[in-house]
């Protein structure tokens, strides 16, 4: 496979796609694309071994599937308790929301805010933004591509912070394990919640932000002139 360090690109060509190049998703290496194969398999990156694609495969369908799966799991994640706390005989089950309410009720609103943001707000925000991005790509929207790309980058970076609640449960069940005196047991809600976090992370990874910009380019002719 021919790698490209520097080629003379015609001034009308702006993107790697239009210049018949493939850009490795991990290491940025540019490889010359066989002109006969416009879609499909391009083999692996000669430098790092990553599978090469013109665009992430089935990006739209995959992102939709993962968004919908995450939405479905979001319901049990919020309805089923995540922990059962036994303390001196009294038994109490907690969902994600009841944990937030507990912190507000006891006046620890900064912690309530952290939990609410990480566990409830961020997953919903991610699903909304991703749905918006996918719909906008499907409708060939040309609306503020730079801001939409920025939205995508935000979704990509904040996703991992939703794991906070899973780690809190991990620490609680490890620490509070003193029989009848005090005990915390994990409940299945935390599995659904972890699934939501994972699915939204995969959904963000499956979406290809370059699709936002592809609208700018008609198949054969490129109207965009690269900044100089």
What residues numbered 13-32 form the site for other proteins, per CB under 8 A?
13-17, 19, 21, 23, 25-30
Q: Which stretch binds other proteins (CB under 8 A): 66-74, 120-128, 132-140, 207-215?
A: 207-215
Nearest by Cα to 163 from 125, 124, 211, 196: 196
Verify binding: residue 161, other proteins, rule CB under 8 A: yes
**Smallest gap from residue 194 Cβ to other proteins (A):** 6
Pick out residues in 164-183 that bind other proteins (CB under 8 A). Answer: 164-168, 170-178, 181-182
Are residues 162 and 197 in contact, defined by beta-carbon separation less than 8 angstroms?
A: yes
Distance CA 79, CA 98 (A): 10
- The string of DSSP letters for 114-125 reads HHIIIIIIHHHH
Among 7, 75, 79, 135, binds other proteins (CB under 8 A): 7
Which residue, 139 or 216, is less far from other proteins as judged by CB? 216
Among 72, 80, 111, 154, binds other proteins (CB under 8 A): 111
Nearest by Cα to 58 from 206, 212, 189: 206
Strands (E) across 48-177 are located at 83-87, 90-94
Q: Which stretch binds other proteins (CB under 8 A): 58-66, 113-121, 122-130, 132-140?
A: 113-121
Among 35, 40, 89, 227, binds other proteins (CB under 8 A): 227
Verify binding: residue 4, other proteins, rule CB under 8 A: yes
Pick out residues in 26-85 that bind other proteins (CB under 8 A). Answer: 26-30, 47-50
Which residue, 37 or 175, is less far from other proteins as judged by CB? 175
Verify binding: residue 201, other proteins, rule CB under 8 A: yes
Long-range contact list for 65-70, CB < 8 A, 24+ apart? 66/199, 66/200, 66/202, 66/203, 66/206, 67/127, 67/130, 67/131, 67/134, 67/200, 67/203, 69/199, 70/123, 70/127, 70/195, 70/196, 70/199, 70/200, 70/203
Verify binding: residue 191, other proteins, rule CB under 8 A: yes
């Amino acid at each position: 496979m021919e790698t490209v360090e520097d080629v003379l690109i015609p001034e009308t060509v702006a993107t790697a796609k239009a210049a018949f190049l493939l850009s490795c998703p991990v290491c940025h290496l540019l490889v010359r694309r066989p002109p006969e194969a416009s879609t499909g398999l391009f083999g692996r990156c000669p430098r790092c071994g990553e599978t090469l694609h013109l665009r992430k495969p089935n990006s739209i369908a995959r992102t939709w599937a993962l968004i919908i799966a995450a939405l479905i799991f979001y319901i049990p994640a919020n309805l089923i308790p995540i922990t059962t706390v036994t303390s001196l005989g009294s038994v109490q089950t907690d969902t994600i929301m009841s944990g937030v309410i507990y912190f507000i009720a006891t006046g620890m609103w900064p912690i309530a805010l952290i939990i609410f943001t990480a566990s409830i707000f961020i997953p919903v925000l991610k699903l909304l933004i991703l749905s918006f991005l996918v719909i906008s790509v499907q409708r060939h929207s040309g609306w503020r591509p730079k801001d939409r790309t920025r939205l995508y980058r935000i979704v990509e970076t904040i996703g991992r912070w939703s794991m906070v609640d899973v780690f809190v449960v991990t620490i609680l069940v490890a620490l509070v394990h003193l029989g009848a005196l005090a005990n915390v047991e994990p409940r299945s809600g935390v599995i659904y919640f972890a699934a939501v976090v994972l699915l939204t992370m995969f959904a963000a990874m499956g979406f290809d932000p370059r699709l936002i910009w592809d609208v700018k380019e008609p198949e054969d002719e490129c109207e965009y002139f690269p900044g100089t």
